[in-house]
Structure 1
Amino acid sequence: MWDARVKIACVGGGPAGLYLSILLKRQDPGHEITVHERNPAGSTYGWGVTYWASLLDKLEVGDPESARAVRENSVRWSDGVAHVGDRTTTHHGDEGFGIGRGRLLDILTERARSLGVRVEFEDEVADGAALPDADLVVACDGVRSGVRERHAAHFGTETALGRNRYIWLGTTKVFEAFTFAFVETPHGWIWCYAYGFGDDRSTCVVECAPETWTGLGLDRADEAEGLARLEELFVKLLDGHRLIGRATAGGSAQWLNFRTLTNRTWSHGNVVLLGDAAHTTHYSIGAGTTLALEDAIALADALGRRPASETGSGSGQAGLAPALAAYEKVRKAELLSVQSAARHSAQWYENLPRYIDLPPAQMFALLGQRHSPLLPYVPPQLYYRLDRAAGRLESLRRLKRWLGPKLARTLHGSATKG
């Protein structure tokens, strides 16, 4: 544990920064912690976020009070439903949870303040301005982190844009299951994933290939026109309900290409990256908020384990490097499988025509297997039969896990040589 009370600045008031402040205050109430959030209180982007029971278990260990509030304000589902044109199939799977992003932030803000954390809204650390005077500065200001960009060359920041276009929307239609809908148009397929996060709202993420986006005129439509067009396309799914644009004051909902971001290293002096400032994973695996909170848990654990000999009164920065290195090592190792799953999930949607004409049950089964590194290299129906067999024969399951990465590397190597 730290034997010196230190000054900590979290730049960014998202879930990661707020939860880190809670954990560090619980470690030592004497730490002076400030969360600097550029937006006004109560404003946020996005709609609902998803997570699974394993995250609740980790939150319960870290701070039972905030875990209880998160659980009580979440909705649950255990089914997945896919609509492909006029065909529908249902899958009974693991229990999932949804909570409004705004409600989650309110819970964490209230809990942090109750522990003595200062949460300052409309407090932007502008480009070129001095960083907060602190022993530790935590950059949790998102994928376009201004703090990180000050030392981008040191961090080794790299971004890659996905091919498909997507837009993040809300709707008044409340979905009781995690729902997929695929609609065929003269310009190709367009689809959405929708899930409830409250008594009167759901998230609806719409995605399509770039040629479909332009063919439908969505590249030229303003927000109202674009929402009206999407409501026409998903009229059966929405059942008379409306789509809602960006959930924040100022600006409108925008079509984007997903930015996959990585960093060679996550710390520089007394500055450390957290959440989307450090890494992103494609939204189709629904893990962004979970991974950010797990970052916070790992960083708090690494800082809490610093030997007392590495700290001293009035020397809060002493010995930070080993703790930050330990945090980075742990999280990078834990992220490897998740990043691989996210990459293959995004590619599954980018290659949707390969799967869309399968019988609904098979298509939905492969939708659930979209993170597999083997799937892109095996005919879909053959993969489906193998996966069904592997569900009954553990030896085949082990073979599939062993063969997938090897085959992917072999075929990638062949393609490179060719």
Structure 2
Amino acid sequence: MCVKVACVGGGPAGLYLSILLKRQDPSHDITVYERDPEGSTYGWGVTYWRGLLDRLHERDPESAALLDAGSVRWSDGVAHVRDLTTRHSGDQGHGIGRHRLLEILAARARDLGVRLEYERAITAGDLPSGADLIVAADGVRSELRSHHSERFGTRLTPGRNHYVWLGTTKVFDAFTFAFTETAHGWIWCYGYGYGPDRSTCVVECAPVTWTGLGLDRASEADSRALLEKLFAAVLDGHPLLGRPGGTPWQTFRTLTNDTWHHGNLVLLGDAAHTTHYSIGAGTTLALEDAIALAAALREHPELPRALARYERERKAALLPVQSAARYSAQWYENLPRYMHLPPERMFALLGQRHSPLLPYVPPQLYYRLDRAAGQLEPLRRFKRWLGPKVARTVHARALTSRE
């Protein structure tokens, strides 16, 4: 059955969905509407892991091969704490420039016959006529979702810490963390390469540090100059880069929705959910949304059943990721709790920041238990059993407090 699809938002989720739907049935009439000009995008690089690339190769080998070729890789993590450094090996990570990612997906969509209309803003009062399905893939500030926020049960929960998303010409050879102590508290950055001459550098700090350093009132140029001085040891003289339109400090907002579809309107990617940037899952989740929605539409010709299946599947898949993101954000919000540890122990607990147990166990004790659990199968089983029980209890208490 040929369907007409209007996808509002030309980010990774919307573009990849259009690719998958065209591959399933070339007769589908699909248009992607993007309010910004082609080639303009926010952000620097995005991260993903090998598992996602394998799934993309299964669904569309052509675009997956280009993404693979356009990505840089790392397998080490490095933490700089004051003047000490520790390095650990881990799973292979991938980084690609957001501009290059969108360029690859847009070209592939065009090749398959998708219409791409740039500089075309779509509002709730100006929806494309005759569409069987309207996909809101227009990000966390989705105009289409906001118009029906009560129907979707939209909630935005602000985080505590301030952060700024920057680029740099310093090319990191590993996923890099740098923690700097100031007179006003700790400030830290996450850095990772995404091309031959660029890296992403996200800087974060607590509110008291942000105001104490004067970052709340500094100009953008002065703010970057101060950050370059604070992280001089890892930047090696390279500058920090902002976006041409300005790069403001922000506080992260976690977005959730009780339901993801209303009539023939369905939410995709950041329009449906957000997870804290410290777990690096945003792009992966958006693409996995697209995979799940395309599969649901293929297997269920009746639109209500397809959308219900998509929502049910993705909500279930997101639960552990959202839990991990919540605990990851809290780990950084309680950073001083861990900074008295030797760097190698602090870095080990940084890798365990998704654990629901960690906030309730003294850090030194947790480190020793985790080391022992890695060697003894009974302890590993106990940790796997206890962790989800604590997570469910905390989640239930949070729901009760909201009610």
Q: Of 321, 339, 345, which residue of structure 2 is paired with 1:338?
A: 321
Aligned twin of 1:361? 344
Aligned twin of 1:186? 183
Aligned twin of 2:200? 203
Aligned twin of 2:166? 169
Once the two structures are superposed, residues 205-224 of structure 1 have per-residue CA deviations (whole angstroms, 9 ceiling, x without a partner) of 00000010000000001111
Alpha-carbon distance change, 148 to 58 in structure 1, aligned in 2, over 3 angstroms: same
Kept in 2: contact 1:9–1:132 (CA 8 A)? no
In 2, Cα distance between equivalents of 1:158 and 1:5:
35
Quick check: 1:276 aligned with 2:273?
Answer: no
Quick check: 1:300 aligned with 2:300?
Answer: no
What is the CA distance between 1:127 and its match in structure 2? 5.7
Aligned twin of 2:108? 111
Q: Of 257, 266, 270, which residue of structure 1 is paired with 2:251?
A: 257
Aligned twin of 2:386? 403
What is the CA distance between 1:409 and its match in structure 2? 6.0
Alpha-carbon distance change, 37 to 414 in structure 1, aligned in 2, over 3 angstroms: closer
In 2, Cα distance between equivalents of 1:225 and 1:239:
19
Aligned twin of 1:352? 335
Report the residue type matching 1:129 in the other structure.
D
Q: Secondary structure at the match of 1:392?
A: coil
Q: Of 372, 375, 384, which residue of structure 2 is paired with 1:389?
A: 372
When structure 1 is superposed on structure 2, of 403-412 and 205-214 the one drifting more is 403-412
Report the residue type matching 1:402 in the other structure.
W
In 2, Cα distance between equivalents of 1:18 and 1:115:
11
What is the CA distance between 1:265 and its match in structure 2? 0.3
Aligned twin of 2:20? 23
The equivalences for 1:215-226 within 5 A come to 215-226=212-223
Aligned twin of 1:311? none
Once the two structures are superposed, residues 98-148 of structure 1 have per-residue CA deviations (whole angstroms, 9 ceiling, x without a partner) of 000000000000000000000111011146433554110000000010011
The equivalences for 1:58-207 within 5 A come to 58-126=55-123, 128-207=125-204
Kept in 1: contact 2:12–2:101 (CA 8 A)? yes
Q: Secondary structure at the match of 2:53?
A: helix
How much identity, in percent, do the aligned residues show?
73
Q: Secondary structure at the match of 1:30?
A: coil
Aligned twin of 2:46? 49
| Structure 1: runs of 5 or more not aligned | 308-318
What is the CA distance between 1:44 and its match in structure 2? 0.2
In 2, Cα distance between equivalents of 1:146 and 1:411:
32
Aligned twin of 1:312? none
In 2, Cα distance between equivalents of 1:414 and 1:287:
26
In 1, Cα distance between equivalents of 2:143 and 2:82:
43
**How many residues matched?**
400
In 1, Cα distance between equivalents of 2:254 and 2:273:
7
Q: Secondary structure at the match of 1:163?
A: strand
Kept in 1: contact 2:323–2:391 (CA 8 A)? no
Aligned twin of 1:310? none
Q: Of 345, 357, 362, which residue of structure 2 is paired with 1:374?
A: 357
Once the two structures are superposed, residues 272-315 of structure 1 have per-residue CA deviations (whole angstroms, 9 ceiling, x without a partner) of 000000000000000000000000000000000025xxxxxxxx
The structure 1 segments of at least 4 consecutive aligned residues displaced by more than 2 Å after TM superposition are 126-133, 404-417
When structure 1 is superposed on structure 2, of 390-399 and 66-75 the one drifting more is 390-399
In 2, Cα distance between equivalents of 1:375 and 1:143:
30
Kept in 2: contact 1:374–1:405 (CA 8 A)? no
Once the two structures are superposed, residues 357-396 of structure 1 have per-residue CA deviations (whole angstroms, 9 ceiling, x without a partner) of 1011100000000000000000001100111111111221
In 1, Cα distance between equivalents of 2:153 and 2:251:
21
In 2, Cα distance between equivalents of 1:409 and 1:176:
38
In 1, Cα distance between equivalents of 2:179 and 2:89:
19
Q: Secondary structure at the match of 1:404?
A: helix
When normalised by structure 2's length, the TM-score is 0.97
In 1, Cα distance between equivalents of 2:296 and 2:76:
37
What is the CA distance between 1:398 and its match in structure 2? 1.5
Aligned twin of 2:29? 32
In 1, Cα distance between equivalents of 2:361 and 2:185:
24
In 2, Cα distance between equivalents of 1:405 and 1:56:
28
In 2, Cα distance between equivalents of 1:86 and 1:133:
62
Aligned twin of 1:315? none
Once the two structures are superposed, residues 138-178 of structure 1 have per-residue CA deviations (whole angstroms, 9 ceiling, x without a partner) of 00000010011111100000010000000000000000100
Q: Secondary structure at the match of 1:227?
A: helix
Once the two structures are superposed, residues 25-56 of structure 1 have per-residue CA deviations (whole angstroms, 9 ceiling, x without a partner) of 00010101000001101100000000000000
